[in-house]
Structure 1
């Protein structure tokens, strides 16, 4: 009962009156009372202890976006709501985003992770975004999500000449067209990048002897063990006689459950040998990541010296602090997805590179973090009020001085689950018929407006820690509700078995 009261009280704390932003904005949405350098392009600056995006006109901007505005899962909305007219869907969708308080689209006109069937007309989407004058990112698909890769293929050898040529080709397709575009926020390389790190490592190490990536990673391992093959054998439970034999015909393998083991928790691993293996994995993954980011920087900067490099939008369990620091020289913004917000502060401070929360999971989808026993991917159920987390997180994100923006993991329109094999039934702010979900729309527009009203007054670390504690307690309350619901449903199921 106390848990339900807590959740209800949090819901009642939401203010749906709407907050009018008193600051006058420039043509790009920047605050005219926050002054940076006028360069003609979006860039970042630290002003009075807070990081800002700076608009082409030289004013501070805080980017609030939605990660999944237009996807091939929205076919129902295009058909039923817009008479199968994609241009009308795109233009009205941008209008709806703005009415909800989203002032940019970090993920751009599309993400191939949610358009791998090719439904969204990419040329049309890019044109409409420019004509509607909404700041946006641009996806250069250098790091493919598993659903984007053709069936039966493996991840690329990023040290090979073939991959270097691929990066060059993909950059040449898009970057020259955008080099002078003032509405462009920057370039990003993929969504959910480096998910399933064990596959990246095992597939690279498992290539045939002589492959550039395999040789590079094995050389790194030999250096880490100072040429002592027996030391490596003791960690990996192998019996190689020398590193030369390992190079010629052997390999090492990383466990297949490491996407949940979270490499950034290496220091908490009690088993000494496993801790060494995790440290090796961190070093090898860091080499792969750095190689991709270096290649991207070199190729993009051939055509565009001005726009920001955003790197990959990376799942929270993938990178350690060390990997973030390793890639920082090659990007203008750090772009983690989902992870606890307080982790980024020391990385921003040590690297001098600000952050953007590239896919905040409580936009309106993905319930797993509030469940204690797993479950199916999909929308947060109606009995877990999505508005509460949106309200709490909006305040927290706006008050973090190292963040220049956020992209909420949310769908503008219902994403129907008739598209396979990547099947998800995720409700949007609007149904496939264009009917708004009023409570959710009101919450988003109110919180987004409040974020812009308060972003210029960041909090100290102690106050931010208190906000984090509040969020954690709310999540725990939700977990308890869901656990009890799970128990109840299990009992009901047994009655009918």
Structure 2
């Protein structure tokens, strides 16, 4: 194992390297470009340019010597200074460490990212995911970690690309790659059990604002009540949170979208420009932790309870009553304004919406797993030709309105921005002709399969002509219908037919959803289906959005949306439906899908940079944070256990990010209108 040596003798070393830090040794020969990355090495500085973000384009830095490794096991932090050399473009970048090659199983927790404004230089820090720190007992959900005694690479690249090819998309200088905070790395505690206290917090760590008693919860509420009472609404806002002092457009009494001075905007019911600065999952529910069969996990008797929703217990203590919800939602409503939010994003509780203080969006259906899907595939997509699906969508809003008065009220409520239908579908575009393979593999009674074969009949007339074009040997059309085999050889005709039907199917989905909204509420915005970021730039998906949606909504788990787009990306309004950032300084062990630095100050800065990138993008009309509350310590049903909330499990706000969001809310209209990237929002 190679011993870390300080190989850099530059005169500036003492000025830029923190006390106790140790430079990570490498030579120019160990630096290699990846994908479209262009790399120049000058001593300890690496100049990186990326024109095409795909193919994990970037730079790979390896230890010196054939088969060399770095031993990082005695340090807490890996750091590098990153400088954005662009004069006019915000950039994003992630730093990734590995025991092997990307992608591999140790990917999940071993990266961290940054967004930089033009000309900005900051330090990117990663808290190293030491295996011994996260060596939890069997059965306890633990974060992915790596063997930090044998690190084989540090890489910088653009993760999950949604940007177009563009010269100098990333143009940056990477310098002072180093290890910081030497000393014994904290190992997993022994004994480990119990590890969850009566408030749902990790027993073995301490951090600012950790709850130690019921009195702490009550005192927090009392102190926050004073803070909220003294808080004033941002001066730039009208009653909807639109730009009170900005341009006056036509007032229609409803939210709409319009292009003004080269940028897309939402327009509020009074005709004022509106940027939707919002928050998702504003509910009382917080995924419970199962305790049945796990009494050793908990530092208190769990009795016969099968699961515990700690956030509910904490709120009952905090408000001094079991029926705390009315008081809680009044607090949340005041928090939103105090934190600079003018919108309720997806999954907002109807009781919060009913207060009438904040404009809101509404999810009409979040993927209905009971509806007919495409055969036996794993695609999260419907058989949109099935009469059962069509019938449900035709009366979706009336059916919901009959069950939920809030849905009925939304049809005439000027506070209602619009409706989402579904979330993060998989249309079968992520792999070549994935949808068509699923269709052909479906049983003969599947409506989507019958529709596809019907189209082929109308084009080819005879099975003989189809077989000749596809290189297949179906005996007749019925044989093709019964078959669940996918042609091994994919001819040009097969691919063309597959693409044509895929586009037709996508078009049909969006048309049905558009009609679902507009046939009942023509004055409400249809906000789309909330794409994942890389789907949003697929031409047939974005084209259908342009044709049918008022707004294209995309969930972006990246450190900046500033360069969102593609050569085929339509000129239309875009709403960011989800984004978040997390760190590991508050007793939790997953920072979410976008790790940023080592503390809450890094998270606050990341929030500001993300919103700056969104505000300066001419198409982005809003950004909604996911989510209001941290996820449970040991995870929700699908395993997510992210430190991504504005509040923790004890309903304690994170002041750093709350201050950052307030600054955004106060200054977002002037910032967007001026159109110049500055580090400060003011």
1:217 equivalent in alignment to 2:430: no
Within the candidate set 332, 336, 342, 1:103 is matched to 342
The alpha carbon displacement at 1:246 in A equals 5.7
Aligned to 2:467: 229
Q: Is the 8 A contact 1:73 1:419 kept in 2?
A: no
Aligned to 2:62: none
Q: Is the 8 A contact 2:80 2:123 kept in 1?
A: no
Q: Is the 8 A contact 2:255 2:267 kept in 1?
A: yes
- The answer for unaligned runs of 5 or more in structure 2 is 1-22, 24-44, 46-78, 83-113, 115-119, 125-231, 288-308, 402-406, 585-589
More displaced stretch, 280-289 vs 173-182: 280-289
- In structure 2, how many angstroms separate the alpha carbons of the residues matched to 1:278 and 1:98? 52
1:49 equivalent in alignment to 2:265: no
Distance 1:397 1:183, change over 3 A: same
Within the candidate set 260, 271, 279, 1:66 is matched to 279
Structure-to-structure mapping, 1:376-415, within 5 angstroms:
380=595, 383=598, 385-408=602-625, 410-415=626-631
- In structure 2, how many angstroms separate the alpha carbons of the residues matched to 1:393 and 1:282? 35
- In structure 1, how many angstroms separate the alpha carbons of the residues matched to 2:498 and 2:336? 41
Q: Which has the higher contact order (CA 8 A, sep 6+)?
A: 1
The alpha carbon displacement at 1:134 in A equals 0.8
- In structure 2, how many angstroms separate the alpha carbons of the residues matched to 1:80 and 1:158? 44
Aligned to 2:360: 136
- What is the root-mean-square deviation in Å for CA atoms of aligned residues? 4.0
Aligned to 1:25: 237
Aligned to 1:34: 247
Within the candidate set 625, 630, 639, 1:423 is matched to 639
Q: Deviations along 1:170-204, whole A, 9 cap, x unmatched?
A: 22123544211101010100222227757765554
- In structure 2, how many angstroms separate the alpha carbons of the residues matched to 1:31 and 1:132? 19
Aligned to 1:10: 122
More displaced stretch, 386-395 vs 198-207: 198-207
- In structure 2, how many angstroms separate the alpha carbons of the residues matched to 1:162 and 1:445? 46
The alpha carbon displacement at 1:28 in A equals 0.4
1:335 equivalent in alignment to 2:567: no
Structure-to-structure mapping, 1:257-276, within 5 angstroms:
none
Aligned to 1:163: 389
- In structure 2, how many angstroms separate the alpha carbons of the residues matched to 1:336 and 1:277? 31
Structure-to-structure mapping, 1:77-116, within 5 angstroms:
77-83=311-317, 85-109=324-348
The alpha carbon displacement at 1:288 in A equals 3.0
- In structure 2, how many angstroms separate the alpha carbons of the residues matched to 1:398 and 1:434? 29
More displaced stretch, 440-449 vs 208-217: 440-449
- In structure 2, how many angstroms separate the alpha carbons of the residues matched to 1:65 and 1:10? 27
Q: Is the 8 A contact 2:583 2:597 kept in 1?
A: no
1:249 equivalent in alignment to 2:325: no
The alpha carbon displacement at 1:275 in A equals 9.4
- In structure 2, how many angstroms separate the alpha carbons of the residues matched to 1:243 and 1:395? 59
- The answer for unaligned runs of 5 or more in structure 1 is 13-19, 110-124, 234-238, 256-271, 368-374, 468-497
Distance 1:294 1:435, change over 3 A: same
1:288 equivalent in alignment to 2:505: yes
- In structure 2, how many angstroms separate the alpha carbons of the residues matched to 1:399 and 1:180? 32
Q: Deviations along 1:22-43, whole A, 9 cap, x unmatched?
A: 8632210111322221111000
TM-score, length-scaled by structure 2: 0.52
Q: Deviations along 1:100-120, whole A, 9 cap, x unmatched?
A: 2221023151xxxxxxxxxxx
Q: Is the 8 A contact 1:201 1:254 kept in 2?
A: no
Aligned to 1:371: none
- In structure 2, how many angstroms separate the alpha carbons of the residues matched to 1:277 and 1:406? 40
The alpha carbon displacement at 1:282 in A equals 5.1
Q: How many residues matched?
A: 403
Distance 1:402 1:447, change over 3 A: same
Structure ranking higher in helix proportion: 1
TM-score, length-scaled by structure 1: 0.69
Within the candidate set 537, 543, 546, 1:325 is matched to 543
The alpha carbon displacement at 1:99 in A equals 2.0
- In structure 1, how many angstroms separate the alpha carbons of the residues matched to 2:267 and 2:480? 49
Task: Please say which structure displays the higher CA radius of gyration.
Answer: 2
- In structure 2, how many angstroms separate the alpha carbons of the residues matched to 1:142 and 1:80? 28
Q: Is the 8 A contact 2:583 2:598 kept in 1?
A: no
More displaced stretch, 166-175 vs 182-191: 166-175
Aligned to 1:358: 577
Structure 1 counterpart SS, 2:361: strand
Q: Deviations along 1:39-83, whole A, 9 cap, x unmatched?
A: 110001111212111111111101111233337435432320344
Q: Is the 8 A contact 1:429 1:437 kept in 2?
A: yes
The alpha carbon displacement at 1:244 in A equals 2.0
Structure ranking higher in strand proportion: 2
- In structure 1, how many angstroms separate the alpha carbons of the residues matched to 2:552 and 2:539? 11
- In structure 1, how many angstroms separate the alpha carbons of the residues matched to 2:273 and 2:555? 23
- In structure 1, how many angstroms separate the alpha carbons of the residues matched to 2:483 and 2:555? 35
- In structure 2, how many angstroms separate the alpha carbons of the residues matched to 1:63 and 1:82? 31
More displaced stretch, 338-347 vs 386-395: 338-347
Distance 1:98 1:282, change over 3 A: farther
The alpha carbon displacement at 1:399 in A equals 0.7
